[in-house]
Structure 1
Amino acid sequence: MRQIVASPVEMDGKGDAQHYSGSAPFILRDIRFRQLVSRRRRFAWSIAGAMLVAYFAFILLVAYAPMKLGSRIKTDHVTTWGIPVGLGMLLYTFLLVAFYVWRVNTVYDVLFKTLCNEGQK
């Protein structure tokens, strides 16, 4: 019985392709493409990990030190520490996403286009 593959590039844990037919496009058989996919996947997971660490740290701060976030920055002001910490989380998220988009557009997309152009020659 033939196994049905959900996508043309089905990767195993090592980043090697499991199924390639002779009719697969050149790009899918190229070892450089598979390495590129593996590198991009590692990068995406590291960004996701950084985001998870930051958000879990924020949630733990809310859970275990709510009085710190609820305390005023200065005694004569109404602004609490929760406001700049929350805004810092938003800024961190924006910067992380901007870094991801910049890196994908300047590194991975360029390498992919180069591989595609070489395959069409």
Structure 2
Amino acid sequence: MDDQVIQRIQDNPKFHELVQKKSSLSWLLTLVILVAYFGLILMIAFEPAVLGAPVSAGGVTTLGIPVGLALIVLAFVLTGIYVRRANTEFDQLNQQLVEDARR
């Protein structure tokens, strides 16, 4: 790419909007998964009996299993949220930037 084109893109307010939106969403989703993950780790460290309790009376599956699975599902859901926003809102802004830069 030409340096002038790069400079036009960087000077475009839509570029700053795109960077801000992507950054905000990334940090929010990162914070959510880190809180959930470290919450689980802290629960394992300080209250192992809670996660070691059986899900049902007389059962062998502990509460830790569904909680761990929920954490994995949460990671997939958060990834899906990011991908959906990236493929809709962020791609539209990106396309507008490309069109503006070609003018």
Q: TM-score, normalised by structure 2?
A: 0.87
Which consecutive segments of 4 or more residues in structure 1 shift more than 6 A? none
Amino acid at match of 1:70: G
1:24 CA displacement? 5.2
Aligned length: 100
Pairing 1:72–2:54 present? yes
**Cα-to-partner distance string for 1:85-117 (whole Å, 9 max, x where unaligned):** 111111111101111111111111111111211
Whole-angstrom distance in 2 between the partners of 1:34 and 1:78: 53
Q: 1:61 aligns with which of 43, 48, 57?
A: 43
Whole-angstrom distance in 1 between the partners of 2:29 and 2:99: 29
Pairing 1:23–2:4 present? yes
Higher relative contact order (CA 8 A, sep 6+): 2
Percent identical: 35
Partner-residue secondary structure (3-state), 2:4: coil
Q: TM-score, normalised by structure 1?
A: 0.75
Further displaced range: 25-34 or 77-86: 25-34
Runs of 5+ consecutive residues of structure 2 not aligned to the other structure: none
Whole-angstrom distance in 2 between the partners of 1:36 and 1:80: 44
The answer for the alignment partner of 2:24 in structure 1 is: 42
1:50 CA displacement? 0.9
Amino acid at match of 2:61: T
Pairing 1:115–2:97 present? yes
Further displaced range: 30-39 or 46-55: 30-39
Q: What root-mean-square deviation, in Å, do the aligned CA atoms of Structure 1 and Structure 2 show? A: 1.5
Whole-angstrom distance in 2 between the partners of 1:54 and 1:79: 21
